Structure 1
Amino acid sequence: MRKPRRAERRHDKVENDPFRTPYQRDRDRVLYSSAFRRLSGVAQVAAVNEQRVLHNRLTHSLKVAQLGRRLVQHLKCDDSNEAQEFRKSSGIKADVVETAGLVHDIGHPPFGHVSEPVLDACLRRSGGLEGFEGNAQSFRIVTKLARRRTEYAGLDLTRAALDAMLKYPRLRPQSADDLFTTPTWTDRRFGSKWGAYASELEDFRWARKGARAGLRSANAVLMDWADDITYATHDIEDYFRAGLIPLHDLASDRDRIAKHARHRLGKLPDFDAALFDAGLDKVVSRFKQITSSCWDTRANRSAMNVITTTNITECVGAVSFAADPPYVAVDSHCQYLVEALKELTWFYVIDKPSLAVMQEGQKRIVQSLYDRLHACLAEAPKSPRLPIQLRSIYRDLARDPDFDSAYGKSSEARQARAVVDYICVLTEAQAVDLDERLSGRSHSSMFGAWFS
């Protein structure tokens, strides 16, 4: 019997597995990949070498995957005839959403979002490349850079899994006039960013076969909502534990938080300040259960667990089936609640000098690493001065017809892409160590170097 089109793979045409579905195999392939394990060395917001036990990109991705599965289970509890019809139309699958949650951040460079504008500028200066985007890099890693077989590149995930990870199912717009805008920022059917490079155009077209241009799949909507919920809740826990967010005394800062949010979010299409204020008031009210600034009291730990559970339960219940494609929707009031939760991290942590100064240094590390590796690669692509994995990435690019089709046979473009691809397979500790070695500031031994 022929497999459903959504369960097909681009390369492996035969499934010989008596006890796993194709979607369960997707999940296992991701979990066993080195690209996924690397996320334990990439920051969420704070550096991964902090002494406090904070989330990193790996623990964040595991929670997104888990919560994505719960969202599907919530929808499947609706036994009405209408819901049954929507389920058939939407194609939602718990294993697919879970896999998308695992890989959605797999392309994040060292130091997370702070590195993206640095790498974007590097690529846009080189040979007509469209720049850097973390979501597009995730798609590139899954389809090209990760390896499990010599016969083909990538993890060869099913069409459904690839489509589900595309939060922004489009290539980079050619101009500002091509940017997609939604009538309201709470419309989760579309995304304003982009999610694939031209070098992965064939994989992108294959993954999106039969889909409406720019419209997320139902599985992608659920993964994206799980992502929002997850970091909105665990970032607050992390920074309360670190003494940065005074959850015991939010009421005193309530008006300043609201003002900060209106300044940051006011340009969103159809942003409703009154709905945000209502969400913020709910957040402030719930955190009144926190009685002191000390995380480690039994009362505060229990209260935090209750509050997090309450917030997540409400957010899971905010998902419902919709009459129009992609047949799932998220209640707008709950989206304002999540935005109010995220605003606490913006107000107390992200927009503060202590983080900004550290991020400035991280940008310099990434820029320095790119410049030095690019210079070495341009001078001598086969030089032993280059890490073996970088040479391998560059060699594979030279044999990639999709890359040549997208950008021409430009050695400058190939060198720039290879260096950025290599940086995006490093952990933060590896990036720092390699930059110190290349700049002559390292005291590490030449013996047993991790990159040789």
Structure 2
Amino acid sequence: MATLGNAYQSFDAKPLHAEESDADEYRNPFQRDRDRVLYSSAFRRLAGVTQVAAVREQALLHNRLTHSLKVAQLARSMAQRLLTNENFTSDLEQECHPYLPDIAETAGLAHDLGHPPFGHIAEKVLNVEMEDYGGFEGNAQSFRIVTKLASRKLNPYGLNLTRASLNSILKYPQYRKDASSRPLPHVKWSDRSRGRKWGAYLSEERDFDHAREQLSGAPRVEVRSVAAILMDWADDVSFATHDLDDYYRGGLIPLNTLRRDDKEFLDFARVRNSSGEHPLDGYNHNEFMAAYERLLRSDPPRERFEDTRDQRVRINQWISDRIKKYVRSVECDCSEDGAYLRVDESSQYEVEVLKTLNWYHVINKPALAVAQHGQKRIMRRLFQALFALVQDNAERIQTKSRAPVPITLQEIYRRIIDSGIDYGSEEEIRARAVCDYICGLTEDQTVDLYERLTGRSVARNSIFGAWFH
């Protein structure tokens, strides 16, 4: 771009809603997108949302906010490295090509905005409760937040991001109805140009079409943007390395005792990756074992972590070496299938090993499973209680009469009604409003609201101590 003043005239930098130009603008449009996400309350909320374990743990663990910051940094680093290759091309118009790092960083910051309290376990509960109302998907909720729910101006709603930034957030660029009615092209799990899930609600169709429009006018089909591919790989790398770091330090993942003949772990990996809940198409267990062997030879920590300075330096260096390798594993793909990028498959198998260690030693253990059982119950009962509350007070909410419903939930409900978008039925409007509201809560807020609504803490909670209006 020659100047920042004419930046919004370009195709990729165009937002859905026109904005007044700022003669003193010192950022390019994609840097402005990044700042809008970074300064949003939806991003700040992620400090109160779990990554794997509860945010109240005494150990210093990653939460969704610190995880998102690191995903953003990794995605940006990968993009910066790609731009040093003179043969690299992307799906961006030439004018916007140099700004790929800014776009990838925004995608990393925004990728988990839609995660509900308690993470993936709550995502499953909300999907069940929303089954008849368009479903629930965390990535679709992230897209809804940046386009509909975030508060920046009275009009339009949302953050009004550029086309390229919106497209980068679409990790699974298709609707629920498309994912269920037509099979995706059969691609190997290591082909990161496509995903196997859906990631947008029909209520965001206008925003989705804007994001997915190409300069030629032809619509894209399921293939992720380059920035979305970088964000997706950065997400996996961050979970594989930073969470493993957390739980080695916490004594749950025994890096110092890993051995080549650990049959129980390898059998767990084979079943999970080839025939589990989310099997990897084309998974080769021999390649997984070879990656496991390479990691054992990469000089991981050889003693139990006791928080000495030498041990902190050692684990930091080992994790840093892994991250550098995986950042460098992204290469340009000059084929014509629209992928533009490929990620070295051997590196992807190593990341799968690290992710599987997290699953085997932490996520799949009874201590976390028991806690998640209670979290599921809280989410289910909270959703149902709020749905009934809105149903009983629908008329008063619409006429802005005083109603015993949190003000924010009332505003979300009215905003959906006033949007002019066809949500199908009054029930679906209520359900979507409740879902949107819950996905704006931290975990502490969720537990407190659940206790208030179910009467579990009426005797000890004061109206002066309420965090909501």
Match of 2:3 in 1: none
Match of 1:136 in 2: 140
Q: Of the candidates 358, 368, 376, which is equivalent to residue 363 of structure 1?
A: 376
Match of 1:146 in 2: 150
Residues 153 and 369 of structure 1: CA distance in aligned 2, closer, same or farther (over 3 Å): same
The separation in 1 between residues aligned to 2:20 and 2:332, in whole angstroms, is: 34
Match of 1:317 in 2: 328
Give the match's secondary structure for 2:58.
Answer: coil
The separation in 1 between residues aligned to 2:187 and 2:300, in whole angstroms, is: 37
1:29 aligns to 2:36 (yes or no): yes
Alignment of 1:4-403 (within 5 A): 4-16=10-22, 17-79=24-86, 82-83=87-88, 91=97, 93-125=100-132, 129-174=133-178, 176-210=180-214, 211-251=219-259, 254-266=262-274, 267-286=279-298, 288-324=299-335, 325-381=338-394, 382=397, 384-402=403-421
TM-score, normalization by structure 1:
0.94
Could you list the per-position Cα deviations for residues 17-68 of structure 1 after superposition, in whole angstroms to 9, with x for gaps in the alignment?
4311000100111111101000000000100011111000000000000111
Give the match's secondary structure for 1:320.
Answer: strand
TM-score, normalization by structure 2:
0.91
Instruction: Check the 8 A contact 1:57/1:105 in 2, yes or no.
Output: yes
Give the match's secondary structure for 1:401.
Answer: coil
Q: Of the candidates 435, 456, 462, which is equivalent to residue 441 of structure 1?
A: 456
Tell me the number of residue pairs that the alignment of Structure 1 and Structure 2 aligns.
442
Instruction: Check the 8 A contact 2:30/2:103 in 1, yes or no.
Output: yes
TM superposition shift of 1:188: 0.6
The separation in 2 between residues aligned to 1:393 and 1:297, in whole angstroms, is: 50
Q: What amino acid is aligned across from residue 413 of structure 2 in structure 1?
A: Y
Instruction: Check the 8 A contact 2:117/2:443 in 1, yes or no.
Output: yes
Q: What amino acid is aligned across from residue 43 of structure 1 in structure 2?
A: T
TM superposition shift of 1:116: 1.0
Instruction: Check the 8 A contact 1:233/1:308 in 2, yes or no.
Output: yes
Instruction: Check the 8 A contact 1:15/1:22 in 2, yes or no.
Output: no
TM superposition shift of 1:181: 4.5
Larger displacement relative to structure 2 (28-37 or 82-91)? 82-91
Give the match's secondary structure for 1:447.
Answer: helix
Give the match's secondary structure for 2:389.
Answer: helix
The separation in 2 between residues aligned to 1:85 and 1:26, in whole angstroms, is: 19
Identity of aligned residues (%): 48
Q: What amino acid is aligned across from residue 15 of structure 1 in structure 2?
A: S
Instruction: Check the 8 A contact 1:254/1:284 in 2, yes or no.
Output: no
Match of 1:424 in 2: 439
TM superposition shift of 1:290: 1.5
Instruction: Check the 8 A contact 1:240/1:295 in 2, yes or no.
Output: no
Residues 87 and 168 of structure 1: CA distance in aligned 2, closer, same or farther (over 3 Å): closer
Give the match's secondary structure for 1:228.
Answer: helix
Match of 1:3 in 2: 9
